[in-house]
Amino acid sequence: MSGSSTIEAAMASRASPAKAPAAETRAAQVPAQTGAKVIGDVILDVKNISLSFGGVKALTDISFDVREHEIRAIIGPNGAGKSSMLNCINGVYTPQQGTITFKGKTFSNMDSYQVASMGIARTFQNLALFKGMSVIDNIMTGRNLRIKSNIFLQALRIGPAEREEIRHREFVEHIIDFLEIQAFRKTAVGQLPYGLQKRVDLGRALAMEPQVLLLDEPMAGMNLEEKQDMSRFVLDINDEFGTTVVLIEHDMGVVMDISDRVVVLDYGKKIGDGTPEEVRNNPDVISAYLGTSH
Ligand SMILES: Nc1ncnc2c1ncn2[C@@H]1O[C@H](COP(=O)(O)OP(=O)(O)OP(=O)(O)O)[C@@H](O)[C@H]1O
Ligand SMILES: [Mg+2]
């Protein structure tokens, strides 16, 4: 058995349920620096981040960077600190130590609104949608940051507010077409199957027109076909819009298939960083997934 099949088998047994067989989702691997894709300069630089909750050290001295236009995966067993890392980047958690530099500006403490207006959007591991609202209205909430008219004009839908609303709705319709959810535009999100709700959550994040998109397990709980669709959307977003993607994902087949570089966390520490090939052959990473070291 090769190193790669060992780690994938280990992940399949440790990760969340409803994982499809990794090998079925894997296609040819594309290393970051080859092919048509051009990876740019560092856009997001995470330095020496430490975060604890009381006695629990969720993150210990984590550093890694994300380059413009890359798909950067964060992987690791359950409880490794992956979601906490995204929460530090988008200002939900305040790390006790370390800095985050985004487009050359350094922060030790970002607030969520500031992060969003600077161009970082995210989706959530546990969906944060308005279940009783339609697909289109949920995605419209992603436009809020960009709505300029004052609330009074918006409420009356007159003059510039009306024109602005039309423009935003057109933008949202494009996203709906892109994500192929036209048939459900007016459906309440709570009535949709889980896989489609994840797609709506992605639409809401895309409506913010982010430069960096943080995706927390966008494929969790999906069947094989839904995972393939979601992988294709992530690749298309990265390719067509040039959006930089930071992706937390448990399915090693998906990670190997679509990411340019991978950070590996375990018990809040970074134990690996490199191309998918480097990471899958890293003995520390293999033992973390098999639970044999420490
Ligand atoms: N708000 C919080 N309060 C207390 N402890 C927390 C909080 N958020 C995270 N933790 C703890 O920090 C550690 C890392 O959790 P985190 O959710 O970041 O892991 P994860 O890698 O995303 O795991 P999973 O794969 O299960 O989603 C865990 O021990 C968790 O219990
Ligand atoms: Mg998580």
**C-beta 125 within 6 A of ligand 1:** yes
What pLDDT is recorded for position 178? 96
Which amino acid residue places its CA nearest to atom 8 of ligand 1? 84
* pTM reported for the whole predicted model: 0.84
Residue nearest to atom 2 of ligand 1 (CA): 53
Nearest ligand to residue 80 Cα: 1
Average pLDDT over residues 21-34: 38
What is the tens place of the pLDDT at every residue in 77-100?
999 999 999 999 999 999 999 999
Substitution site in 82, 252, 270, 289 for ligand 1 pocket (most atoms within 8 Å of beta carbon): 82
pLDDT at 29: 36
Query: For 238-267, what is each residue's pLDDT tens digit?
Result: 999 999 999 999 998 999 999 999 999 999
Better pLDDT: 261 or 32: 261
Is the domain of 10 the same as that of 108? yes
Mean pLDDT for the stretch of residues 219-238: 94
At residue 129, does pLDDT exceed 80?
yes
Asked if residue 232 and residue 153 are part of one domain, the reply reads no
pLDDT at 64: 98
Q: How far is the CA of 67 from the centre of ligand 2 (A)?
A: 22
Q: Which domain holds residue 66?
A: 1-119+212-294
Closest ligand to C-alpha of residue 87 is 1
- What are the backbone dihedrals phi and psi of residue 113, each rounded to the nearest 5 degrees, phi first? -65, -45
Please check whether residue 44 is in contact with residue 102, taking contact to mean a CB–CB distance below 8 angstroms: yes
Smallest-distance ligand from the CA of 75: 1
In a domain, 124, yes or no: no
What is the model's pLDDT at position 261? 97
For residue 36, the model assigns a pLDDT of 72
Q: Are residues 32 and 114 in the same domain?
A: yes
What's the domain count of the chain?
A: 2
Mean pLDDT, range 182-193, rounded to an integer: 95
Same domain, 46 and 153: no
Q: What is the pLDDT of residue 43?
A: 97
- Specify the pLDDT at position 1: 37
Last residue within a domain, chosen from 209, 244, 272 = 209
Q: What is the mean predicted confidence (pLDDT) over 48-70?
A: 97
Mean pLDDT estimate for the chain:
84
